[in-house]
Structure formats: C-alpha cells, structure tokens
C-alpha cells in the first residue's frame, strides 16, 4: 500500500505526517529521520497535517483523524485509547493511566507503550507525566514542556 507524507513546520521543528488510504500510519517528531515527502498526500494525511498545524497555532484542542491500524499489542492499544481520553490541557501520571487500562501495577509498561505510540500529539502521550515531575518523552523534554505549555498546563517541572 502506498504511503504518503507531508511535513508540518512548527516552532519546535518539523513534524512529518505519514499515511495511506486507510488513515495516518505515523507522525515523525522533529528529531526523527523521516522519509521524503510525497507529491500526492491523500485526504487522510492532508486532514491530519491541517489539524496538527491548527494545534500548533493554538486553534485546535482535539483531533478528528483516521488512524490506520498499526501492529501493536493489546496493552499498547488499550493505553493509546486511554491517552485519547485525556482532555486538552490536562495531565495524568503513568500510574493513573495504568489504572485507566485496568493494570494498576503497569506504570512502567505504560511508559513503554507511550514510547511506541506512532501518532504523537494526535494520541497525546505528552500528557502523561511522572508522579514526581515531567517524566520522559520520545521527542525530548523540551518539546514535551512546550506542548504542555501550549495547552496551558502549569506547575510541571
């Protein structure tokens, strides 16, 4: 199946949206080496790129994007669904997300599922923080801090 790609420039770098006719397959963060963009991007990629641009401009607080099914464990899928339930401008700890998915002792596994999330920002893994502060982020703590600040979150180190 053909993959289409386009890049969205933001103040924290370029994010590449990748997808196919079924939906968005992946979003590459600024530090990740993304394959070249394509001339034709398809509706799903164009829609996701527009919404991502609006998010970074501060005019979008939720996403209506078709995500293409990706290889994942059942636990990862459960975590990604839970992440989508976290409202704009809010945070949850890894332990709280573990509770949400019915696995209260799986906070570390939640972190691993976050790291495997193929759709950062759209599936908001940046909203998951450590019990003692910011916690990690695949794109780096500076980008995580920026995203949370953009959403109005205060008091996270």
| DSSP count for the chain of H helices, then E strands | 5, 5
Q: Do 78 and 112 contact (CB within 8 A), yes or no?
A: no
DSSP 45: H
Active site residue 117: no
Collect all residues with Cβ–Cβ distance below 8 Å to 120 and sequence separation of at least 6: 27, 29, 126, 138, 139
Rounded-to-integer distance, Cα 64 and Cα 110, Å: 24
- As a whole number of Å, the end-to-end CA separation of the chain is 43
Determine which one of 125, 128, 147, 148 is catalytic: 125
Active site residues: 125
């Amino acid at each position: 199946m053909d993959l289409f790609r386009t890049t969205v420039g933001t103040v924290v770098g370029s994010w590449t949206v990748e997808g196919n006719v079924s939906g968005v397959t992946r979003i590459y963060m600024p530090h990740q080496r993304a394959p070249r963009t394509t001339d034709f991007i398809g509706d799903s990629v164009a829609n996701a790129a527009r919404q991502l641009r609006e998010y970074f401009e501060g005019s979008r607080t939720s996403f209506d994007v078709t995500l293409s099914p990706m290889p994942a464990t059942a636990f990862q899928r459960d975590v990604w669904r839970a992440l989508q339930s976290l409202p704009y401008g809010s945070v949850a700890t890894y332990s709280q997300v573990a509770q949400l998915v019915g696995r209260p002792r799986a906070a570390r596994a939640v972190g691993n599922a976050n790291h495997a999330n193929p759709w950062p920002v759209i599936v908001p893994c940046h909203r998951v923080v450590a019990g003692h502060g910011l916690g990690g982020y695949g794109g780096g703590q500076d980008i995580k801090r920026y995203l949370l600040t953009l959403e109005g979150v205060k008091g996270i180190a």
